[in-house]
Chain A
Amino acid sequence: MVNWGYTITRVRRVDIDSNDMSYSRKLLAEFPELQSCIACGSCTATCTAGNLTKFNVRKLQTLVRRGEYEGVRKELEKCMLCGKCRLVCPRGINIRGLVQKLKKELPVK
């Protein structure tokens, strides 16, 4: 193949048509409260890790719901499991439990 000094940029949009939604569906079936997130950001605001790194648990769980898993498992290593996120969540989502579940179930990638 020819190399002209550039490559064809990969489209970065979320493509629900081609994403593998099976894990997202399984997660939402087992953890339905996750759908009630209203993205208030309280979890990230109070997050110990989020204040020191780019760790953003609100965004990560949304990515997983959209079938975007790449890099999420690695990012979750940053969580210190303090549990303050769960404490502040106005929708009562067990975010700490979610992190542990995702760490167990998502492929290390």
Chain B
Amino acid sequence: MKIAWKEYQKDIADDNYFYARSCIRQNFFPGSEAAFLNILRQDLGRDVYEDPRHTSCTGIGYHSDIVPLETIMTVVARQFSLMTEAGYENFVPSCITSFGIYSEALELWHDFPELEEKAHEYLYKATGREFKKPKNLAHTSDVIYHHREEIAAKAKRKLVNVETGRPLRGVEHIGCHYAKIFPKAGVGGSEFPYVLAGMIEAWGGEVVDYPERRHCCGFGFRNYLVMANRGYSIANSKQKFESMAPYKPDFIVANCPGCAMFLDKWQYAISEMEGTFYGPDRQGIPVLTYEELAGLVLGYDPWDLGMQMHQVAVEPLLDKLGVEYDPSAKYLGKDGKFIGKPEECAIGSYTKNIL
């Protein structure tokens, strides 16, 4: 981490973003996307535009061999046409797989201009729309990274253990589609990625550089989707947990919706299948999105950030950070109504001062 990442920098637009949401996150981390918009608009005073007509990028289908290239290129072209129509040039997707898809489309069009022609043609024939390519393509985490110092300046708390005064140790996971396909598209490249590490450091925490840091979480789309293949999806996450556990990380922050979901939920699955826990006291390692991390730093309420949706209980981390929260409000919705509660399990529930 001493030098290498500095070689890889990318242009990240400073303002006026066209925002595209993620399928997985809207279901599993809905609070994160809301937090992104709040942080950008309210805390940082930036302009973010959303168009309700935008769709899935169909990346999951593409990577599962059910959406062909021509189709996904046309979907990408349509998203860009919405951006063009709204007068924006900076495209910001909220998903690593989408980011990979958009990067791949732009790269393909650059290398094979005839494919770009086809995309224009298909889109026009199907919808009568036209599009311009974005001037700047950045992932939502790039945008948070870009503003990390500004966030640090407005921070209500640091990533520091309030009891011991020590920096909290964070494992970061950038996800394969962020920089393994196009290393130059990622801050810090793929071997020593800095996009999340930069946030952790800027906000007072310490980054854990553990041996399996670069290893895939194992999601693998078609691998997870077919039940018989889930065994080797989960084995990849397990390899990472085993490698990071000796460092006693206080949290994991993930870049990719799929990674965040699997690093969180596989901890539960492993605990139920094998009785293994990677945190202390039969607890897991809390898995956060970077918006949740930024939100906590900025003083957002953890339940407003949607952290009750996590499989691994986040309370141990909240206690270390000194975040005040109301345990009885965990499963209450915005309107104060009970939203339902998952069944009790060791990794998902936490009582303070458990010994």
Contact = CB atoms under 8 A, between A and B. Distances in A.
The reply, when asked whether chain A contacts chain B directly with Cβ atoms under 8 A, is: yes
Interface of A: 1-11
B270 A8 contact: yes
Interface string B226-242: 01111110110011000
B106 interface: no
A5 B350 CA distance: 28
A6 B231 contact: yes
A3 B269 CA distance: 10
A-B pairs with lowest CB-CB distance, top 5: A9-B231, A9-B232, A9-B235, A2-B272, A6-B230
* Majority secondary structure of chain B interface residues (helix, strand, loop or mixed): helix
Contacts of B228: 5-6
Interface in B172-186: none
Contacts of A7: 231, 273
Contacts of B235: 8-11
Nearest to B275: A1
B225 to A, nearest CB: 12
A11 B239 contact: yes
Query: How many residues of B sit at the interface, in one of the four size bands?
Result: 10 to 19
Contacts of A8: 231, 234-235, 238, 270, 273-274
A11 B239 CA distance: 9
Contacts of B230: 4, 6
The SS class assigned to the A binding surface is loop
Interface string B196-237: 000000000000000000000000000000011111101100
A11 B241 CA distance: 14
Contacts of A11: 235, 239
Interface in B264-318: 269-270, 272-275
B274 A5 contact: no
Nearest to B345: A2
A4 B269 contact: yes
B87 to A, nearest CB: 49
Given A8-B238, A11-B239, A1 B272 contact: yes
Contact of A1 (B227, B229, B234, B273): B273
29 contacts: A1-B272, A1-B273, A1-B274, A2-B272, A2-B273, A3-B273, A4-B227, A4-B269, A5-B227, A5-B228, A6-B227, A6-B228, A6-B229, A6-B231, A7-B231, A7-B273, A8-B231, A8-B234, A8-B235, A8-B238, A8-B273, A8-B274, A9-B231, A9-B232, A9-B234, A9-B235, A10-B235, A11-B235, A11-B239
Contacts of B274: 1, 8
A9 B272 CA distance: 16
A69 to B, nearest CB: 23
Interface string B147-165: 0000000000000000000
A11 B231 CA distance: 11
Interface in B236-260: 238-239
A4 B273 CA distance: 9
A5 B229 CA distance: 10
B88 to A, nearest CB: 44
Nearest to B239: A11
Nearest to A1: B273
A9 B234 CA distance: 8
B216 to A, nearest CB: 13
Contacts of B273: 1-4, 7-8
Contacts of A1: 272-275
A9 B237 CA distance: 11
Contacts of A3: 273
A6 B270 CA distance: 12
